[in-house]
Amino acid sequence: MSESAVKSAASAEPREPWFGKKEKALLSDPLYIDNPITVQVLGVCSALAVTTMVKPALIMGISVALVTGFSNLVVSLLRNGIPKQIRMIVQLVVIAALVTVVEQFLKAFSYDVWKQLSVFIGLIITNCIVMGRLEAFAMANKPWKSFLDGIGNGLGYGWILVAVAAIREFFGRGALMGFKIIGPSSDFLINTQSSPLLSWYQPNGLMVLPAAAMFLIATIIWIQRSRTQKLIDIS
């Protein structure tokens, strides 16, 4: 009788919703209030390197989101069977396997982007965001929540990359997504040489340099913290 009572009590417990308030926060918080780049200050090196154009930045953001989400899922499923002494080795093996799949997929279906990102795709293995979420979240939470946490942090990383890349590509190359918009030749939609009002305009070569990405990310951090009191470091 006691066993049946325990089973009935356990079955009577309400199930956690798939997309409750906590689950939605796992996706939304990394986009702003807990962004991995602007708040946690992780993954900054790759943000400086791959944001010269929107397309590779978008592909990089999607790749990191997929790797972070599925590595969180796999490690969360295995967390109770992973010895503490080798947990980081197991995590690296999981990440490396997923990165290899992403890299081969890009090589097969988007070779030009793969050539631009080949080194940085491989460096996802050592990305602080991926390892940080495995240690801080996946090793202590259930698979579904871990998956959402990984996707959320990957998207938070990705939108910063795309925003910075859009500014750099437009002002540095006069283009967006490879489409030439404004520049000093007939190849551009707006030819500044044939316009008396825009004849002075030249793409700003400084925006193509990695230093421009650093200044843009710093500006985003400044705007974000000036608008959100919670993010101000009181210490």
pLDDT tens per residue, range 200-231: 888 888 898 888 999 999 999 999 988 888 88
Q: How many CB atoms lie within 10 A of CB 85?
A: 7
pLDDT, residue 2, reads 52
Question: What pLDDT, on a 0 to 100 scale, did the predictor assign at position 6?
Answer: 47
The mean per-residue pLDDT over the stretch 124-152 comes to 93
Residue 136 DSSP code: I
Section 5-13 average pLDDT: 50
89 three-class SS: helix
164/56 Cα distance (integer angstroms): 12
Residue 12 has pLDDT above 60, yes or no: no
Mean pLDDT for 104-131 is: 86
pTM for the structure as a whole:
0.86
* CA dist list (Å): 178 to 17, 53, 54, 98, 173: 42, 8, 8, 28, 9
**What pLDDT is stored for residue 118 in this prediction?**
75
Task: Work out the percent of the chain whose per-residue pLDDT is above 70.
Answer: 93
Q: 87-96, 102-111, 154-163, 188-197 — which is least confidently predicted? A: 188-197
CB 212 within 8 A of CB 51: no
pLDDT for position 72: 97
Identify the pLDDT of residue 1: 46
